[in-house]
Amino acid sequence: MVEITDLYKKFGKNDVLNGINLSIKEGGIFAVLGPNGSGKTTIIKSILGMVIPDSGSIKVFDTNIKNDSNYRHKIDYLPQIANFPSNLKVNELIKMIKDLRGNTIADQNLIETFKLKPFLNKKLGTLSGGTKQKVNIVLTFMFNSPIIILDEPTTGLDPISLIRLKELIKNEKAKGKTILITSHIMSFVEEVADNIVFILEGKIYFKGSISELKTLTKQQNFEHAIANILTENHA
């Protein structure tokens, strides 16, 4: 479904990605983990075509994404920081994205779920971080694409919204979609992810299920298991 081969990327003198090979199969939830600056977001942005790799190739549904933009019809993306044009109103933004990607009615349900009705006529600049994130979630989930990429989806959400988000993710998974998540909240990852990829300094250090990670590191706790990879490799 997503096929990454020999991906290299430098930002100035910084080697961010050092030969990433990753194959993501159809269906299931895939978590990309790693410390700050390890290259998680760069991988995701590379898949989205926002970062142009120095070398290597990325295929989505067997087509090389280089110089292509149509494949993005198959991807829903939730960016890490929800920055929107501040003088647009919420419903104008939703309308605009629909205008750009195609019509949908799924947004009505999502607005209901996240209680966004009262904010529809407010300008995005006046919204709180959490509310913006909710708008962000609505924009992401309102299209029914086979791949969903969530970059730190839990940022700023209150507990109720977090629960709703998890339900939403599970529902999408049940539809047979492939979901790619990055997150710092380990409990969240442990709860939703089927497979994890651990990245350090632009390389993949571990790839497999959470239980495989636990057996490999001989740790019962997921967080400790992650910490274990980090310390062992730095020792």
Partner 1 sequence: MLKILKYSFFDLMRSSWSYVYFAFYLLLGIVLLFLNNDLSKAVITLMNVIIVLVPLIGTIFGVMYYYNSKEFTELLLAQPLKRSSIFLGQYLGVAISLSMSLILGLGLPFIAYGLFKSSAIWDFSLLLIVGVFLTFIFSALAFNIALSHENKIKGFGYAILMWLFLAIIYDGLFLMSLILFEDYPLDKVSLIGTMLNPIDLSRTLILLKLDISALLGYTGAVFKQFFGTSFGLIVSFLALTIWVGLPVLRIIFKSNKKDF
Helix spans in 12-158 (H) = 40-48, 90-101, 106-113, 129-141
Cα separation, 195 vs 202, in Å, equals: 19
Between residues 77 and 198, which has the closer beta carbon with respect to partner 1? 77
- Least spacing, CB of residue 9 vs partner 1, in Å: 8
CB 48 to partner 1: min, Å:
5
**Distance of closest approach, residue 74 Cβ to partner 1, in angstroms:** 9
Which lies closer to partner 1 via its Cβ, residue 24 or residue 65?
Answer: 65
Query: In the complex with partner 1, which residue's Cβ is closer, 101 or 203?
Result: 101
CB 78, CB 151: distance < 8 Å: yes
Dihedral over alpha carbons 64, 66, 71, 73 (to 10 degrees): 160
| Least separation in angstroms between CB 167 and partner 1 | 24
User: CB of residue 21 vs partner 1: minimum separation in angstroms?
Assistant: 21
- Of residues 140 and 217, the one with the C-beta less far from partner 1: 140
Give the DSSP H/E element, type plus range, for residue 39.
Answer: none
d(CA 139, CA 90) in angstroms, rounded, equals 10
* CB-based burial label for 33 (10 Å; 0-12, 13-18, 19+): buried
Side-chain-side CA neighbours of residue 75 (13 Å): 24
Please report, as ranges, the residues that interact with partner 1 according to CB under 8 A. 11, 45, 48-52, 67, 69-73, 75, 77, 79, 83-88, 96-97, 99-101
Q: CB of 225: closest distance to partner 1 in angstroms?
A: 32
d(CA 177, CA 170): 10
The residue among 202 and 229 lying less far from partner 1, judged by its C-beta, is 202
Q: Which is nearer to partner 1, 96 or 216 (CB)?
A: 96
